[in-house]
Every structure is written in structure tokens, then in C-alpha cells.
Amino acid sequence: MKSYFKYIMAAAIAATTGLTAAGAPKAAPKGGKSMEEIELMIRRGALDEATEALDSAAAAQPKNAQIDYLRGKCLVARNDDANAIKAFEDAHRKGSNDALLELAEIAIREYRVDDAEGNIDDYKAYIAKNKRKKLPDNSDEISSQLTRTRAMLDRVEKIVVFDSITVDKDAFLDAYRLSPEAGSLNYPDMLPEGTDYSDPTVVYCTEDGREMLWGAQNDESVFTLRSIHRLADNSWEKPESVGDHLGQGYDANYPFLMPDGVTLYFASDNEESLGGLDIFISRNNGTEFLQPQNIGMPYNSPYDDYMLAIDELTGAGFWASDRNRLGDKITIYMFIPSQSRVNVDLDDPTLAQRASLRSIRDTWPTGADFTNVRKALDNVKESVKKRAPQFELSLPDGRVLTSYRQFTSEHAAGLMEQYVSLKKATDEAKKRLAALRIEYGNGNTGVGPEILTMEDDMEQAEAQLRRVANDVIRAETGGNVK
């Protein structure tokens, strides 16, 4: 089995992309990579290497539908849906029925629900026509996603998005401007010392500073919402769960509590989500938070949407989204909240555009003037946010560095960037290994060889981390590290 260590070293481990096309030849062309090896490259984020291998395979096996299918998956991983569509269409023309599901998924992401339904119908028709082959029907999940998307397109809220900005994903809170009356959004290191939290999360603090809410993983590695209250003597109570039911067994994170103390917004990737994190709302009945509801479009999309916050004083709301697929950057949308929900007419020709926010100008009423809300935001002093450390490095001379600007050696700072990148990739690999072990424990013994390979590679990666850390310290202090 191919080693993963080179990918960890390159910090190229990406989110796992499921590859489900079945029935195509797995053999490698002479001197080339097998389809199985290419699948693994795509899963590990080695997209350039996968593309090169696919080009070689296509030259040797031009009629192999699996090559076009995998090319489509590779293009999707590059966020190039336009060319991915062509690759999947080629795969289908050459005999890949599974390519229809990929085409349906892209169509759903683009809100072309009728096209998606046609793809799914064709997929099911092929299975029905070939009953003797006993082909598995893998369309349930995509069909459910289509149903959810159709339902949400029927109730797209008519909001006004007056601005949007692109920011670094790791520092997106800096774009939020909230008046003190709305509370504050903070980085998690502002929590009382010893308080458990999990990255990534955001800590919401009420105006009076006496309650904080945030996300932390439970024993099953699922994010749940936690809260903590300040006592009269300014000490803090023990953190407690806000409501394990809010995430419905899935992640619940990025909370924002309205000043009424009743209305809670948060993000979850549960089964009612369009895909990734969606924004949900729940209300407290005086005893507990009730069953949450998905707030729908245009707030939510097939991608991650989270951290909705509303400031009633300025009349502005914010939320974060990666629907534009900008890599390490995300989009912050700023909108004008309304007292009651009004939906876009179903026969409005701009319905899909307003749902997807292809252009925020589609949401502007005639003669829109946002002078007042912009002036209100300008008058809000930027909230003081304790920035989470970029890393923590203890030096022999007693210094503890937490940001690149603290280095006295540019070379050491450059080495530290390598260390942080390598550690991030290694941590992602550890998560993948943990997931594989769970699969193995649930009876999928086929992942055994991959587990063994990854365990060996983890040892190499950990050793390399130690070497790079020592190099950083030597470069900064000019001494030897024992």
C-alpha cells in the first residue's frame, strides 16, 4: 500500500472525499497507477499527482469510464465544478451510472433541482433495468438532500444583504462589529483557566459578562454547546451543557444568544442541514431550549454557514460562509434583520440567485440607501477580542513564543511556519486514523492495511515534528538542543 508519509510531510492532507464509483476496472495501465491508488491520492489531497496519473491512464485506457469519473472527483476537489460536469458526463457516456449521482450533487449545489431530479431518475431507471446485476442503490442520501433543497427553495427569506467581505478563516471574528448591548464574540482563550473547549469554536459573552457560551467536543468527539455563569464573588460555576439535543447527535457550535436570553442561534451539521454546517434557531421556554429549526436560505447553503450574530442597536446582522470556496478565506455577509419573516415569491425570476447570494445586489430594494446602518457600524468601537495564540513554543531562555512576530530570527520564524503546517497535517492524519479504527471496530476489516500503514507513518511524522521543533529552537537561540 502506498505510504502516506510524503503527503503528511507536504501538509497536503485534505478532507476525505468519498469515491463510490463501482464496477470499473481497477487494474493499472502498464507502468502507471491503479485506479485504487489514484483514489487514494485524491482522498489525501495529492491532486496534482492524481491528475498526472489520470492523464497517463487515459492515454492507455481511453474507454475506461472510471478514469473520467475520478477526474471529475479530482476537479470537484479543486472546486472546478464546470469542468467536473464534463468529466462526469464523459464517464456516464462510457458506462458509469454512479456519475449520474455526482452530476445530481453538483446540480443541487447550483440549485438546479429539476436537473438533479432528472439525474437521480436516470440513475434509478438504470438499476431497475438491470435487476439481474443486483446493483446497489446509493441514491438515498442525495435524494434526501434534493428534498431538503427543494423545501428550502420554497421559503427563501427576503433579506437585504448590504455588504460582504472576504477574510482569513482563522481570523474571521475581526470582521464582526457588535455594540456592547449585543454581547461579544471572543476567541476561546478568554475562557476561565482550565475550562474545556475544542477548536474551532467561538465564545459568546453576554453584555454583563456573567454568562459565556461556546462549543466543546464530548466523549464521542461531537461538538456540544456549553455555558458557564459568573457567581456574585466573580468566581465561575462549573460549565454545564446547554442542551445535548440541540445538535441531534451531530455537531452544535458557534452560539449566539440574543439579549432577550431566549433566542439562541448556533450552527450544526445534523440531518436537516443542506450540507456542512447550517445555522439553526432555538428558543428557551424557561426550562430548556426547544427543538431547533433550520433558518433556511439564503443564510444556509450546501457549504458551511455559521456564526450568525444580530445587533439590534445598529440594525445589522452578520454570518460567515464558505459557499464561495475560497480556500483559507471565507465570506462574511452583513444583512439587515427584519422583525417578521417575508419570503421571496416562488415565481420571482431571481429566486435562485437570491437563495445562493450570487450577487448581493439582487437583495437590494429599489433606491436602497445603507448610509444609516453603515454609520451605526462605524460608530461601534471594535470589540476587544483576545486573539488565540498562533502556537506555543517554550525556549531554553525562559521565553514562551505565541506568534511569529515575537521571533528575533527570520529563519526561525520560517522554520516555525513549516512546523505549524506539518503539525496541522499530522493532526488531520491522526483524525483519519482514529476514524479508520472506529470503522475497523465496527467490522470493516478491509481498512486494516491502511491502519497499519498510517500507524507507521505517524511515527515518522512525530519524529520529524521533533526534529523541526529543535531546528526552530536552535535557529532562535543559536544554541544546541538536548
| 130-158: pLDDT as tens digits | 988 888 999 999 999 999 999 999 999 99
The predicted pLDDT at position 13 comes to 34
pLDDT for position 480 = 57
Among residues 344, 378, 412, which one ends one of the domains? 378
pLDDT at 166: 97
In this prediction, residue 131 carries a pLDDT of 87
Query: What confidence score (pLDDT) does residue 31 get?
Result: 55
Position 388 in a domain: no
**Closest residue by Cα to residue 139 from 148, 129, 127:** 127
On whether both 138 and 179 belong to a single domain, the answer is no
Q: How far is CA 380 from CA 180, 316, 319, 336, in A?
A: 9, 11, 18, 16
Task: State the pLDDT at residue 389.
Answer: 65
Among 152, 175, 201, identify where a domain stops.
152
Looking at residue 393, its pLDDT comes to 87
Q: Are residue 42 and residue 163 in the same domain, yes or no? A: no
pTM above the 0.85 mark? Answer: no
In this structure, the answer to whether residues 184 and 281 fall within a common structural domain is yes
Q: What is the dihedral of CA 102, 151, 289, 332, to 10 degrees?
A: 60
Q: Which three cell numbers stand for residue 43?
A: 482522498
Place of cell 513564543: 401
| Residues 136 and 176 placed together within one structural domain of the fold | no
Q: Where are the alpha helices (DSSP H) in 130-193?
A: 140-153
| 340 and 238 inside one domain | yes
Domain membership of residue 400 (yes or no) is yes
Predicted local confidence at residue 479, as pLDDT: 64
Q: Assess if residue 482 is contained within a domain.
A: no
Q: Are residues 134 and 238 in the same domain?
A: no
Q: What is the pLDDT of residue 481?
A: 52
Q: Are residues 365 and 397 in the same domain?
A: no
pLDDT reported for residue 18? 37
Structural domain including 31 reads: 5-152
pLDDT band, residue 16 (cuts 50/70/90): very low
Q: Say if 296 falls within a structural domain.
A: yes
Up-side HSE of residue 288: CA atoms within 13 Å toward CB? Answer: 10
Supply 473's cell numbers: 529552537
Return the SS3 of 381: coil
Distance between CA 206 and CA 204 in Å, rounded? 7
Q: For residue 384, is it within any domain?
A: no
Q: Which long-range contacts (CB under 8 A, 24 or more apart) does 361-368 make?
A: 363/158, 363/159, 363/160, 363/161, 363/298, 363/335, 364/160, 364/162, 365/160, 368/160, 368/162
Q: Do 185 and 146 fall within a single domain?
A: no
Residue 388: predicted pLDDT: 55
For residue 294, which phi and psi values (nearest 5 degrees)?
-70, 130
Is residue 386 situated within a structural domain? no
Instruction: Tell me, yes or no, whether 41 and 177 share the same domain.
Output: no
pLDDT at 26 over 70: no
Together in a domain, 433 and 365: no
pLDDT per residue over 236-282, tens digit each? 999 999 988 999 999 999 999 999 999 999 999 999 999 899 999 99
Residue 213 has pLDDT above 90, yes or no: yes
pLDDT in tens, 225-238: 999 999 888 889 99
Q: Are residues 38 and 60 in the same domain?
A: yes
Domain count along the chain: 3
**Nearest in space to 352 (alpha carbons), one of 305, 294, 302, 280:** 302
Task: Report CA-CA distances (Å) from 360 to 122, 126, 149, 369.
Answer: 35, 41, 20, 14
Please state the rounded mean pLDDT for residues 344-366. 94
CATH number at residue 148: 1.25.40.10
